[in-house]
């Protein structure tokens, strides 16, 4: 089935798979950053202030030397197909890189192919929803990578709330939901995302437009900034 594609032209292409980090020479100054999931990565700039949902803190590593208070991050093995580096936009002219957790890329691609949803869109949703943290839990009770509410997950086949912390289960159910929303809103990505965030009823009550909620509009904007426009 035709994959869900963006109808918005000229979006910034902010999320793209690239080669393993070992394929490019490291710049003179790098930053050792602790991500929200507790892992440590070396990036080419400090993005902790501009992108706090992904990074807790960053320390400069001059000339490749180890930081005094942070262990050195293990490099991503060259050619490892289970780990993917993606680009995120922290400002219009300042891209940076983060790493999708091991094995998650295959789960995303498989679910996307199965349900006709662009894997790049799924990845952008996960990045905004949970910053790739499989154990994420929101104050409202949303769980896992795609931040599914237990009631919504049960609607799409979850046997127990704890299942939502399993990446394969969480992504499968979240993508099923995106597929249903795609059919309901005729593949209009802005409405699909708005409904994922605020519920189908909110979009319908708003006359099939993005509801006038600041949180929802910001949510849609963030994902569209990350999702590369389809051809």
| 31 Cβ contact partners less than 8 Å away, ≥ 6 residues apart | 42, 43, 44, 45, 46, 58, 59, 60, 61
Residues identified as active-site: 129
Instruction: Indicate the DSSP class of residue 143.
Output: B
Q: Which of 156, 160, 135 is nearest to 145 (CA)?
A: 135
- Sign, CA dihedral 129-126-12-194, equals negative
Contact 61, 46 (CB under 8 A): no
Write down the H helix ranges in the chain: 104-115, 119-130, 150-155, 167-184, 189-198, 200-205, 214-226
């Amino acid at each position: 089935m035709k994959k869900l594609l963006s109808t918005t032209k000229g979006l910034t292409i902010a999320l793209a798979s690239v080669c393993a980090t070992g394929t490019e020479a490291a710049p003179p100054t790098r930053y050792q950053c602790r991500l929200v999931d507790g892992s440590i990565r070396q990036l080419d700039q400090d993005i902790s202030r501009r992108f706090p949902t992904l990074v807790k803190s960053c320390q400069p590593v001059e000339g490749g030397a180890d930081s005094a208070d942070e262990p050195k991050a293990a490099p991503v093995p060259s050619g490892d197909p289970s780990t993917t580096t993606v680009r995120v936009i922290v400002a219009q002219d300042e891209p940076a890189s983060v790493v999708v957790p091991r094995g998650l890329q295959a789960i995303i691609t498989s679910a996307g192919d199965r349900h006709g949803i662009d894997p790049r869109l799924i990845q952008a949703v996960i990045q905004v929803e949970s910053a790739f943290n499989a154990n994420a839990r929101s104050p409202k009770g949303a769980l896992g990578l795609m931040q599914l509410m237990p009631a919504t997950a049960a609607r799409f086949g979850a046997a127990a709330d704890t299942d939502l912390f399993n990446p394969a289960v969480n992504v499968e159910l979240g993508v099923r939901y995106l597929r249903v929303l795609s059919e309901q809103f005729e593949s209009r990505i802005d409405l699909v995302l708005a409904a994922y965030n605020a519920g189908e009823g909110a979009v319908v009550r708003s006359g099939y437009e993005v509801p006038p909620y600041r949180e929802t509009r910001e949510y849609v904007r963030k994902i569209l900034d990350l999702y590369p426009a389809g051809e």
